[in-house]
Amino acid sequence: MMNSKQPTTKSFDAIYADYSNPNGRVMITAHRGNWRQAPENSVLAIQCSIDAGVDVVEVDVQRTKDGRLVLMHDDTVDRMTDGSGRISELTFDAIRALQLKEGQGGEDTAATAALIPTLHEVMLLAKDKVMVNLDKCWHIREDVYQVLVNTGTVKQGLFKSTAGVEEVQEFLSGKSERPEFMQLINGSNAHLLDQTDEIITRVQPKAFELNFAKDDSPVISDVTLRRLKGKCRIWVNTMFDADCGGHTDAVSLTNPKLGWDWHLGRGVNMIQTDSPKELYAHLNPGSK
């Protein structure tokens, strides 16, 4: 039986050892740095995630007009700040002058004192504490990798992509320290399901992220799960219906059998969530 119980204290070495074990305990990822506690992708949100004892913090990386890497989910700053404009068309100084809005932002949401952080700052914050899932940045992966090198956090940064074997191998090979990589499979690249053995052999990902809109999707089929179990960790996202067949955080909070437990029963052992505190409590009955 899979071990879902979380350790009471976790060093990064312990987290990495668990991540490297395909049959290890269930691991918790905080989406956008735990935005329910602070502005998404902010330093405070990431610190809240670390304090809450999550294993992985997911962040979104964008590149400014002058080549700086900052955290922001959208291509523009409109939703999350008191400013406007495309990140790729704004200088870092212009972006740094903006204030992040509360939570997930929006037109009528109040601004805070929080500023848009750089990837460099966030990796230093996370150093020796948690893994960091690097989203929305495969196209600038070499720049992102260099930040990891400069901050001594290559082992902590987790890249992911829907790309095929050749493209991924080209990125991973020839580096002084090999990046961590997770293979993402969804409806757009479901043909890779027939190549899972090749991916595992040649790319050697420690995890597969599976995105599926319906329960009968081949992405989450018994055949797919049998191919992966015992070889790689299996990661799902429970924030949005379209990514997990409707077995979401929202469902889990009222009927966990149809939410988180649905995934756990199929062998999933990494869950990205908007409710890390509640998922932790669910995995650890009686915990405070």
Q: Are strands 207-210 and 233-237 parallel, antiparallel or unpaired?
A: parallel
Q: For residue 109, what are its two tokens?
A: 């949401």
Inside any domain, residue 257: yes
Residue 1 predicted with pLDDT over 50: no
Q: Are strands 56-63 and 69-71 parallel, antiparallel or unpaired?
A: antiparallel
Over residues 15-27, the mean pLDDT reads 98
Inside any domain, residue 279: yes
Catalytic machinery residues: 31, 73
Counts of helices then strands in the chain (DSSP H, E): 12, 9
Inside any domain, residue 75: no
Inside any domain, residue 206: yes
Inside any domain, residue 94: no
Q: CATH number of the domain that 133 lies in?
A: 3.20.20.190
Convert the pLDDT of each residue in 31-69 to its tens digit.
Answer: 998 888 899 999 999 999 999 999 999 999 999 999 999
Q: Which amino acid is at 257?
A: K
Per-residue pLDDT at 9: 62
Inside any domain, residue 72: no
Residues 31, 182: Cα–Cα separation, whole Å: 16
Over residues 178-192, the mean pLDDT reads 98
Mean pLDDT score of the chain, rounded to an integer?
Answer: 96
- Please work out, in degrees rounded to the nearest 5, the angle formed at the alpha carbon of residue 3 by the alpha carbons of 154 and 278: 80
Inside any domain, residue 81: no
Helical axes 119-126 vs 141-151, angle rounded to 10°: 50
Domain interval for residue 138: 12-60+121-283
- Count the domains in the chain: 1
Inside any domain, residue 209: yes
CA 225 to chain centroid, in Å, comes to 20
